[in-house]
Structure 1
Amino acid sequence: MAAADVALSLVKLLGALIVSLYYILEALVVGIIPRAFMRKSVEGDVALVTGGGSGIGRLLCLKLAARGAKVVTWDVNATGNDETVRQVSAAGGECWAYTVDLCDRHSIYKVAARVKEEVGKVDILVNNAGIVTGRNFIDSPDELILKTFEVNTLSHFWTTKAFLPEMISANKGHVVTVASLAGLSGVNKLSDYCASKFAAVGFDESLRLELLVEGHTGVHTTVVCPYYISTGMFDGVKSSLFPILKPEYVASEVIDGILLNRYIVILPSFCRFMILLKYILPFKGAYQIYKACGGHISMDGFQGRSKDSQQQLKMTNGPEKQKSQGTPEV
């Protein structure tokens, strides 16, 4: 590379750093403006939520419908899906349910086509469904590791591929990835789960950059990284320092992440500083903080949803034999 090219690159880098200072100030100002003045409207939009048959997914369906969105719930559990439709309808909203096995990309594409025909173009896609094994790496069956990635990571590719083209054509849309704090920092006894969530976070960031580079500024993405949530998926988990999050709080923050077009939602928000320490401190120092927070033993009492755990290896395309793929909660 010629010296002139290097000099030009350095000048561009300096300019970018100066512009970044402006955006830091902008973020500080935006941070003190009441949210009510900045939320966008989703009235009339079609919002599809995977894992909408239970937990956080159901709460998201209810909250999106309350804001006037037409809600579509996808879940492997037909009974849970029907209950979500009942609750949304009882609250005065519109909701459609489709039984989908997110481990089957052909099923995803097929049902996506039905949604477009029967409901309309999807404006908001919330990739929420997830599963967890919760075992030491060496004790994790190959089948469960594969299923973890199929649900927690690969399904995001297939659902987004199915609905993103219409968003790009209209230059209007929103893709939400419900990931996890375990997608930003490793956790003992969650190697497959963490790896799948790291991949989900990377998917969101890369997709966002691609959309910006291609000029599709009306299509937004948000990644959500919450701590443990008390919905049952991580029953038995202990947290000695940080409070286990309430589902209602998490669902409300996810909705605001959508309405405010936020790039990343970390819950609780102060955990972003804990993540920063991971990159600033030497590994041995970061590990001491990890232990002081109780992270090294948090999964020792893990039980999870026992019925779901028994069914994870038995999932088929038949709705009567499937259990909810749940919600990521760490």
Structure 2
Amino acid sequence: MGRGTSLAGARVLVTGGGNGLGRRMAIGAARRGATAVIWDRSAERAHAVADDIRAHGLPAQAHVVDVTDREAVRAAADETGPIDVVVNNAGVVSGRPLLETPDETIERTMAVNVLSLYWVTKAFLPGMLERRTGTVVTVASAAGLVGVARQTDYSASKWAAVGFTESLRGELRALGSPVRTLVVCPYYIDTGMFEGVRTRFPLLLPILREGDVARTVLDGIERGRQQIALPPLVRMMPALRLLPVRAFDTVLDVFGINQGMDHFSGRPGDRVG
């Protein structure tokens, strides 16, 4: 594993950077010497984060962008200028069973969690390839490694996010490009999205802190990591498919990510990051 992209002097774009994990990563990048570029649908949130960063004498930009609108993304990319690190963080979750999830919600989940990866990455990757430097980060989820009950649209979108990043890594390798990819697969984060989750058994894995996840991601960018699973045990979840189905489901129940999901009281439709 070689060295990744130094954040000192870099320009770091964080989508969904106006709150939650995205806000933490934008502020953390600025503290490491980067210019933080915050993209968010909410002008209030985007400018609040940028103002907070600038109040500490650090550089930041704020742009109001709907990352599901490819034309808006292209226009915003032209306005933003070159970017060294793209953090595809914007995401939504509904937390409803399939038959209770409105069609519009499913379409929104796929647009934010999947299609935006294409529009944002395609806007900035050519510049990275030309400069032969940079990192594309995708904030996926443990749900991108194993399916989660009551979150079929979210799980499918995060599986797609993992596949997007792995495929992009393969393309970059074939080009002999030093541009890197990093996919992040965390367990539940204390953004408020998963407050009140109840399972058949007590959760065996800890709820992650935003600040710890943000710091780990920023460290991973600078160290050239290609995959981060939090906690590390999450990395082993796909191997559970080697078990008989009944045993597989029981293990996922114990970890609070399958049929044991009796209740979800997060804020439906809010950003994960």
Superposition TM-score tier, normalisation by shorter sequence: over 0.9
Equivalent residue in structure 1 for 2:112, among 144, 148, 151: 151
CA-to-aligned-CA distance 1:46-96 (integer Å, 9 cap, x gap): 110000000010100111001111110000011111110122112221100
Aligned residues: 270
Q: How far apart, CA to CA, are the structure 1 residues paired with 2:160 and 2:172?
A: 18
Q: Which residue of 2 aligns with 1:250?
A: 213
Q: Which residue of 2 aligns with 1:106?
A: 71
Q: Which residue of 2 aligns with 1:130?
A: 91
Q: How far apart, CA to CA, are the structure 1 residues paired with 2:195 and 2:254?
A: 22
Q: Which residue of 2 aligns with 1:17?
A: none
Residue 230, structure 1, aligned to residue 175, structure 2? no
**TM-score in terms of structure 2 length:** 0.94
Q: How far apart, CA to CA, are the structure 2 residues paired with 1:41 and 1:123?
A: 9
Q: How far apart, CA to CA, are the structure 2 residues paired with 1:194 and 1:294?
A: 14
Q: How far apart, CA to CA, are the structure 1 residues paired with 2:66 and 2:41?
A: 5
Residue 46, structure 1, aligned to residue 11, structure 2? yes
**Closer, same or farther: CA 109–271 of 1 in aligned 2, 3 Å:** same
Q: How far apart, CA to CA, are the structure 1 residues paired with 2:226 and 2:34?
A: 21
Q: Which residue of 2 aligns with 1:260?
A: 223
Residue 279, structure 1, aligned to residue 244, structure 2? no
Give aligned-pair identity as a percent.
44
Q: Which residue of 1 aligns with 2:233?
A: 270
Equivalent residue in structure 1 for 2:21, among 56, 61, 69: 56
Q: How far apart, CA to CA, are the structure 2 residues paired with 1:240 and 1:158?
A: 36
Structure 2 gap segments, 5+ residues each: none
Residue type at the aligned position of 1:268: P
Residue 167, structure 1, aligned to residue 167, structure 2? no
Q: Which residue of 2 aligns with 1:326?
A: 271
Cα distance, 1:43 vs structure 2: 1.3
Q: Which residue of 2 aligns with 1:176?
A: 137
Alignment RMSD (CA, Å):
1.7
Structure 1 gap segments, 5+ residues each: 1-26, 31-37, 313-324
If each structure's helix is expressed as a fraction of its own residues, which one has the higher value? 1
Residues 35 and 59, structure 2, Cα contact 8 Å, conserved in 1: yes
Residue type at the aligned position of 1:327: V
Q: How far apart, CA to CA, are the structure 1 residues paired with 2:134 and 2:4?
A: 15
Residue type at the aligned position of 1:63: G
Q: How far apart, CA to CA, are the structure 2 residues paired with 1:133 and 1:165?
A: 33
Bigger shift: residues 77-86 or 158-167 = 77-86
Q: How far apart, CA to CA, are the structure 1 residues paired with 2:54 and 2:15?
A: 18
Relative contact order, higher structure (CA 8 A, sep 6+)? 2
